[in-house]
Amino acid sequence: MKNLGLLILAIVLITSCNQNTGKTDEKKTVIATAGTDTIKDGVFIHITESYNDPHRVLMPLKMAVMMAKDKDVLVYMDIHAVELLVKGAKDLNFADFESAQTYIKQLAGMRVGIYACPTCLKIAGFKPEDLIDGVQVAQKEKFFNFTKGRIITLDY
């Protein structure tokens, strides 16, 4: 009998705690939703390849364009990829993709940061002023400050 009394008391307490008072809970939901809508996650895309492997260049550029529609995106290109980012560079085409220059122009138009490694540029025989419009020399601060959300990395 004692256990039955405790069980009934527990049910009454649980029921009373779960009552919906209406407006207070709705306000909490609206505030929580509003806060998460303003913070987008970021996608950091790292590309190292160039003319020798166009699929490894064009796939991440295509993904960057797709992701930039509702995520913060940063594209970092180093090693051989810097060859694609200079004035006079031959465009890169492959299979069912747009060209590299097309994707880069789309990303620049979407205000996506496209960065080239300064050391890799120098090793390849180029200077920062050789970069095409929309591409900048990489700065480490940009790697962390391009988004307020989580940073997801795709490495090609």
Tell me the HSE value of 93 on the side-chain side, using a 13 A CA sphere: 2
Query: pLDDT-derived band of residue 39, with 50, 70 and 90 as boundaries?
Result: confident
- Domain of residue 75: give its range: 42-155
Residue 70 covered by a domain = yes
Query: pLDDT-derived band of residue 5, with 50, 70 and 90 as boundaries?
Result: low
Q: Is residue 10 over pLDDT 60?
A: no
Residue 17 covered by a domain = no
Q: How far apart are the first and last CA of the chain?
A: 68
Residue 125 covered by a domain = yes
**Domain containing residue 70: CATH number:** 3.40.1260.10
pLDDT in tens, 43-84: 999 999 999 999 999 999 999 999 999 999 999 999 999 999
Q: Domain count of the chain?
A: 1
| Spatial separation of the C-alpha atoms in residues 106 and 97, rounded to whole Å | 13
Residue 6 covered by a domain = no
| Spatial separation of the C-alpha atoms in residues 150 and 51, rounded to whole Å | 32
Mutual orientation of helices 100-109 and 55-67 as an angle, nearest 10°?
Answer: 20
Q: Is residue 89 over pLDDT 70?
A: yes
Residue 132 covered by a domain = yes
Residue 21 covered by a domain = no
